[in-house]
Amino acid sequence: EIVLTQSPGTLSLSPGERGTLSCRASQRVNTNLAWYQHKPGQAPRLLIYGASTRAAGIPDRFSGSGSGTDFTLTISRLEPDDFAVYYCQQSGSSVYTFGQGTKLEIK
Amino acid sequence: QVQLQESGPGLVKPSQTLSLTCTVSDGPISSGGYYWSWIRQHPGKGLEWIGYIYYSGNTHYNPSLGGRLTISVDTSKNQFSLKLDSVTAADTAVYYCARRHGRGYFDSWGQGTLVTVSS
């Protein structure tokens, strides 16, 4: 099973700042990586797929990069609605796995 | 955009079977290229992929659930279902149904339903 390790566990930032979230895979997944935003009581929301392609309706403040084992989600200018938990997910192997999440909180 | 909604009991006794249904609306479950999936989140933990089914009935399960899992589809009702046998407290979680794109990511999710395993 491919393990995804996200860092940091918690990121404290202020609106307007830039947020950088990391996801490292224990084995290569090429670009078979997606990012999701999850708020309490809501359905997770797909942000990025294929490591760098924004999903429909996702603002261009969100960008993804990386391939192989190291991936980054960048939120260029944080807005109050962006504070949530973010998960990465790989589909590079037949058993899909998620990272443990990064909580983005307001500083 | 397709909509998904989970339904089923919120409380299941240990050793019994957990049964959930996902109703898909605003799109046919038989549309090709998508796989209908279950994902769960244990309290305070991350997300765990459970398995998926294609409208034809082909399935793929997470091996961690052993032989306890069955996912089925009813195209006439535009629904798919999850059955998890011999549950324990470790199966207490919020269960989500989701649509998996052919490229492996989940592009539509239900709101989730909490299932508690307790006597």
Whether the pLDDT of residue B118 is over 90: the answer is: yes
The pLDDT value given to residue B32: 84
Model confidence band, residue A78 (pLDDT cutoffs 50, 70, 90): very high
Chain A residue with minimum CA distance to B43: A40
Contact between B82 and B69 under an 8 Å Cβ cutoff? The reply is yes
Using a CB-CB cut-off of 8 Å, the residues of chain B touching A49 are: 101, 103, 105, 107
Beta-ladder partners of A5: A24
Cα-based distances in Å from A73 to A43, A83, A87, B10, B89: 19, 14, 10, 35, 34
Mean pLDDT of B34-52: 95
Tell me: the pLDDT tens digits for A80-100? 999 999 999 999 999 999 999
Q: Does the distance separating the beta carbons of A96 and B104 come in below 8 Å? A: yes
Whether the pLDDT of residue B34 is over 90: the answer is: yes
Q: Does the distance separating the beta carbons of B45 and A49 come in below 8 Å? A: no
Chain B residue with minimum CA distance to A53: B105
Model confidence band, residue B31 (pLDDT cutoffs 50, 70, 90): confident
Question: Environment class of residue A95 by beta-carbon count within 10 Å: exposed (0-12), middle (13-18) or buried (19+)?
Answer: middle
Mean pLDDT of A9-35: 97
Strands (E), chain B: 3-7, 11-12, 18-25, 34-41, 47-53, 59-61, 69-74, 79-84, 93-101, 106-109, 113-117
Using a CB-CB cut-off of 8 Å, the residues of chain B touching A103 are: none
What spatial distance separates the first Cα and last Cα of chain A, rounded to whole Å? 35
Mean pLDDT of B1-21: 96
In chain A, pLDDT over 90 holds for what percent of residues?
98
Model confidence band, residue B1 (pLDDT cutoffs 50, 70, 90): confident
Tell me: the pLDDT tens digits for A58-73? 999 999 999 999 999 9
Model confidence band, residue B66 (pLDDT cutoffs 50, 70, 90): confident
Model confidence band, residue A45 (pLDDT cutoffs 50, 70, 90): very high
